[in-house]
Structure 1
């Protein structure tokens, strides 16, 4: 329902001659002056016919003129509660726009054209996403482009006779409105020129004194101090008090000390204050402080605001197990329920695979989460064992702060969600409900035919470096072997994740070579080799346990890695029976050190001697010998990742080592 407007102020500025109370004064839909072709600085500016005009009852709507957009709304902004400034201006843009906008929208939101911006009397609920453009209750409209063909359909819907060109793609202009005051059909004209956000297009009006905020550059550690400086464009004529906050989610006044209300004295133009970050003993995780300047007096304008910087917590936790580069075994026990795999015994071939699917795709038990929930899952499942504030990145084999999750189209310096079984090869994708992080207890019922849920199956999603994820794209494994210079510690993990997908979902399979059929992924021979050379370690077992808490299913190829041979490998056709539980070696009974190693690898345990073999990353035995307890193996091998097997009296330990 359209909101009632009790009073419309219709007085005009002497320098303006137009009939509307509020108009679209300036639009910048395409900004590239940072050189990255990302529209961080795009904006919309409204102008009221009187200053300090309340915009209650107005709504701003953006329309998509593309073929897929169908001249319908894609973003709506209710303007209730907002007021234009002393010059009658209201600036709408991202927090990267300068001067700082009165209304913040996400960067890169405004489409380049041919599209439209329209101002209506009404409510946001009148323009739900996908609403066709209309002239009903229309106040003002601007149909624009970046050297695109006219969208005559959109123009007709909005009653507009001219489509305004901002310039070719990646231009540095804005579209500005000018009115000659004659109130004729040709009274209003538009010009594409240098942007003037938060300033009248003709250069008139009150000149506001800009306030620019700076912080000491870089991120901060607990215990660090940093300076905050405020500088005005002109000396202030009377004392200017500036109040600011640093609070942001978990970061609050208990995390710092210092003065947050400063005064620039009359006749001066700058003031600096020092903030000290408290070094506590709490494991709070890395945080981000946000410097937000409170409302400034009428004669001033914030040139920037909402400055953010990282605060690194030094109280992170180190796990009792190693990273995939420094694997440990036996420290993390499987949390599988008793008898979880009992139904597999005595089966082989297709019957064995079907019985596995019956366990891990049981619709009465198994849950499917949203694609957004995957972020929360990976922050725990892929947590860096050496630093609880980081995730461990597949492929690049490094830790990355959890706070660096990719949230825009720019993936540089970020981590994101990597589908080990690519979407385009599998045929699944996100739906609208996938955008909600609604937690463990909100889920979909799922079964073996629910292929769409493969899009958010955490067993086949990993935290990955953003640019490297793009490099991998949808290549088959074997085509893609990871970045050069890495040790391939991810290979067995990746193999077991995609082999799991064949069992879990009907319609997916792992094939030899590089297939082109939808639902198929290769290369099976490569993945089998990766599985054999990189057995499940504590990191992978912990991951399996975490995902089980969310999805109520496990990756059986981590719990029972020999199953791979019975389904795809050299024991196909043989009858499966679960191996009997044996104590085996533990970290308490045998030690292999140092790791990484240069030339001497020591073996220490409670047996008199051990049979030790070293395997290369390709699976070749490169060295084998009998080692006495508390003795060492002399290594004269090339640098790289190796697999060590240690056997004694029927017990066997497998460990990865790095030779430097």
Structure 2
């Protein structure tokens, strides 16, 4: 299963993927917005069944089998999986870490804590939580070490599937951090982002006390501004896949809790806000679109600059509504009777300034 990295298709999948395996009523108390919603999700996924650190290898037999790329029943490792070429092929039980080897790729596999276990002192239940502890090539796991995830500017190490390590690109959406980071391939950026967002939610009651380069020592935002933006961008650029849905279901069967950001990808923006906007001119930088997501098929657009055109564009790039000289009431424009789906709203002013916003109609 190879993802196609066009923005339109990615956003379509991210917010339109049909989720399966969620028990009826599981999220019935998840009714809030912002950090209130995150706390509600914490209360839902808290107190999961601890299957022990050794038990992770049993969980992996159902949660991390390659039924998507080579489809050959081998271990699926995000650090060495190559969706389009040759790769390491680990067989569960045969190549498991026994305390020896691992001096090069494709030798042994072990358990990778996406948030390093040193952050939480290897304590239970974090150390054995399969939602963020994954099977991994032992060598690349050691190479990743405790470095945060980020966007590599200049790679000091590149691994067999294209994962790399190096200094963070201190510009664009990854601006604000220049230390060493580990960057997975595009195929798994969203998977890892959603694992980390799960961690921040599941351990909301403890995370403020843990020190890590990605964290800001709070229990609400949890992340530094830089790393939060990286996670949100990766979440959008690499949407939820069938592999993640199946993994979520398999872990739920073992641990009795779920990753809510796989079941409801839209909750990332509801809690932490949208990614950095695509505004191209300062005059329209303060345009706001609300509510977003909307549940009453209606949005409001507030702009101090008068708009002379509003376009509603679907995920195929088709303009499905074009409103010339839209009606303005106290700096606010209203679009009603919107069908369910994910859209781009392109706003234009009389002097040809434009900005594009993303909206979700539930």
TM-score, normalising length: structure 1: 0.33
Matched, 1:491 2:175: no
Q: Residue 427 of structure 1: CA displacement?
A: 2.7
Q: Residue 493 of structure 1: CA displacement?
A: 0.6
Instruction: Answer with 1 or 2: which has the greater Rg.
Output: 1
Q: Residue 535 of structure 1: CA displacement?
A: 1.1
Tell me what 2:66 maps to: 384
Tell me what 1:461 maps to: 133
Distance 1:409 1:516 in 2: 37
Q: Residue 340 of structure 1: CA displacement?
A: 0.9
Distance 1:401 1:578, change over 3 A: farther
- Root-mean-square deviation (CA, aligned residues, Å) is 3.9
Tell me what 1:566 maps to: 270
2:315–2:342 Cα contact (<8 Å) kept:
no
More helix by share: 2
TM-score, normalising length: structure 2: 0.57
Tell me what 1:476 maps to: 148
Mapping 1:141-290, distance limit 5 Å: none
Tell me what 2:44 maps to: 359
Tell me what 1:426 maps to: 120
Q: Residue 396 of structure 1: CA displacement?
A: 2.4
**Ranges in structure 2 where 5+ consecutive residues have no aligned partner:** 83-88, 164-184, 276-289, 297-312, 320-338, 344-362
1:611–1:625 Cα contact (<8 Å) kept:
yes
Q: Residue 456 of structure 1: CA displacement?
A: 0.4
- Give the number of equivalent residue pairs: 243
Secondary structure of the 1:416 match is strand
Secondary structure of the 2:29 match is helix
1:511–1:524 Cα contact (<8 Å) kept:
no
Mapping 1:472-551, distance limit 5 Å: 472-478=144-150, 483=158, 485-486=162-163, 487-505=185-203, 506-508=205-207, 514=214, 523-551=227-255
Tell me what 1:334 maps to: 20
Q: Residue 376 of structure 1: CA displacement?
A: 1.3
Q: 1 or 2 for the larger relative contact order (CA 8 Å, sep ≥6)?
A: 2
Distance 1:530 1:512 in 2: 20
Q: Deviations over 1:124-145 (max 9, x none)?
A: xxxxxxxxxxxxxxxxxxxxxx
Distance 1:501 1:331, change over 3 A: closer
1:415–1:465 Cα contact (<8 Å) kept:
yes
More strand by share: 1
Tell me what 2:306 maps to: none
Distance 1:381 1:325 in 2: 24
Distance 1:500 1:559 in 2: 11
Q: Residue 350 of structure 1: CA displacement?
A: 3.2
Distance 1:427 1:568, change over 3 A: farther
**Ranges in structure 1 where 5+ consecutive residues have no aligned partner:** 1-321, 430-451, 581-609, 614-623, 627-648, 654-660
Q: Residue 476 of structure 1: CA displacement?
A: 0.8
Q: Residue 549 of structure 1: CA displacement?
A: 0.3
Secondary structure of the 1:376 match is helix
Q: Residue 465 of structure 1: CA displacement?
A: 1.5
